[in-house]
Amino acid sequence: MLSFVLRRLVWSVALLAITTLVTFGIFFGVPRLAGQTTAELATGYVGRDPSPAAVAAVTAKLHLDEPIYQQYGRFVKGLVVGETYQFGPEKEHCPAPCFGYSFKNHQAVWPLIKDRLPVTASLAVGAAALWLIGGVGVGVLSALRRGSVLDRAAMATALAGVSLPIFFTGLLSLALFSYKLGWFPDVHYVGLTDDPVLWARNMTLPWITLAFLYAALYARLTRASMLEAMEEDFIRTARAKGLRERDVVLRHGLRASLTPILTIFGLDLGLLLGGAFLTESTFSLPGIGKFAVDAVQAKDLPEILGVTLVGAFFVVLANLIVDVLYVVADPRVRV
């Protein structure tokens, strides 16, 4: 098992390195291939109507006149050990991971993202727990009651969950449960350490809205996997040995169905930790997703670059964890 984990860890590090290369190429290499000059690239860091002196200063400060491979080396160095920038007569050190400084407010990007991580983590982890428990539970019951009223109702609800966009269900839940019924008044983010009860209450609607979409997908996938697993020979053997039906379903049927569920769960959770754009925008939660939307609207390149790399990191990390969980769910993965 240790060798399996080490192999996956090495591949994850290599994948992160490739991701930084591709991301850097998209943000800095592709514009040059499209004909953008060094001065035009530097202008984006200065703002509207810049003076030639300001453009030249930014070009020298960010080393935009260097060859592209040297710029990439500095970029990787900033991510690993940080970077030192020259602001006139003064020098300022940007600690690792350094994504540069925002065009808009000239603040280091990583602290801005880090301040929003608790919001996104609260939303993603809470919703993931709901959709995993609800979706898998409904999928198992539907598979065991195939063709029943419960099965048909659950799959119809799952179809609605897949079809309805988050901004629709989010606004509908706000209109009904917050504005009309008043069950969740003044939905806004409150830190977990500040007031745990208020944190949970204000996150309930975003959790349910986000979980409704994913739980529908997981219910359908779990049902299909369980139907296939319950027809296998090892299930008939387990029943022939006299095992209780609950043990047959949970220890054998569900365990055999977990591999595809773990696969998409790792990808979904990693993507959400990189920013739940629609949910955060709908509920005005100051998370990474809303931060990314604001950065795109402001054309703030360092912030967009930072969110892209942070999102990629969480996707790779989540999939590494899922790879390890594969061994627990299915020992055949070790070979």
CB burial class (10 A; 0-12, 13-18, 19+) of residue 155?
middle
What b/e readout covers 6-34, taking b as 16+ CB neighbours within 10 angstroms? Answer: eebeeebeeebeebbeeebeebbbeeeee
Is residue 240 pLDDT above 70, yes or no? yes
In angstroms, rounded to a whole number, what is the distance separating the alpha carbons of residues 286 and 276? 11
**Which DSSP string do the residues of 181-241 spell out, in sequence order?**
S-SS-S-----TTT-HHHHHHHHHHHHHHHHHHHHHHHHHHHHHHHHHHTTSHHHHHHHHT
Residue 111, both tokens: 């602290």
Averaged confidence pLDDT in the chain: 81
* pLDDT grade for 272, boundaries at 50, 70 and 90: confident
User: Which one, of 172, 169, 264, lies nearest residue 225 by Cα?
Assistant: 264
The CA distance from 65 to 58, in Å, is: 10
Can you tell me the mean pLDDT for 119-145?
86
Report the C-alpha gap between 229 and 164 in whole angstroms: 30
Return the higher-pLDDT residue of 250 and 172.
172
Q: What is the pLDDT of residue 45?
A: 67
- Of the ranges 49-53, 114-118, 266-270, 324-328, which is most confident? 114-118
Which pLDDT score is estimated for 334?
Answer: 56
Query: What pLDDT, on the 0 to 100 scale, is given for residue 46?
Result: 67
The more confidently predicted of residues 155 and 17 is 17
**CB-based contacts of 133, cutoff 8 Å, min separation 6:** none
- Determine the pLDDT at residue 329: 63
Res 89: pLDDT: 67
pLDDT reading at 225 higher than 70: yes
What confidence score (pLDDT) does residue 140 get?
84
- 90-94 vs 83-87, strand pairing mode: antiparallel
Lowest mean pLDDT among 37-51, 58-72, 189-203, 282-296: 37-51
Q: What is the DSSP secondary-structure string of 38-97? A: HHHHHHHHH-SS--HHHHHHHHHHHTTTS-HHHHHHHHHHHHHT-EEEEETTEEEEEPSS
CB 249 within 8 A of CB 140: yes
pLDDT for res 44 = 67
Query: Tell me: the pLDDT tens digits for 61-93?
Result: 777 777 888 888 888 888 888 877 766 666 777
Q: 3-class secondary structure for 171-187?
A: HHHHHHHHHHCCCCCCC
Structure tokens at 145: 């009651």
Region 152-169: mean pLDDT is: 77
Tokens of 29: 């290499």
Q: Quick one: what percent of the chain has pLDDT higher than 90?
A: 1
| Residue 87 vs residue 318, higher pLDDT | 318
| Token pair of 147 as six digits | 């063709």
330 pLDDT band, cuts 50/70/90, is low
Confidence of residue 169 (pLDDT cuts 50, 70, 90): confident
Rounded Cα distance, 315 and 251, in Å? 29
| Per-residue CA distances from 155 to 14, 26, 139, 262 (Å) | 40, 41, 9, 21
Q: State residue 301's pLDDT score.
A: 81
DSSP 333: G
Calculate mean pLDDT across residues 40-59: 72
**With the C-alpha atoms ordered 206, 276, 161, 263, is the resulting torsion angle positive or negative?**
negative
* Residue pLDDT, tens place only, 32-48: 777 777 777 777 666 66
Q: Above 80 in pLDDT, residue 311?
A: yes
Beta carbons of 192 and 122 less than 8 angstroms apart = yes
Q: State the pLDDT at residue 182.
A: 83
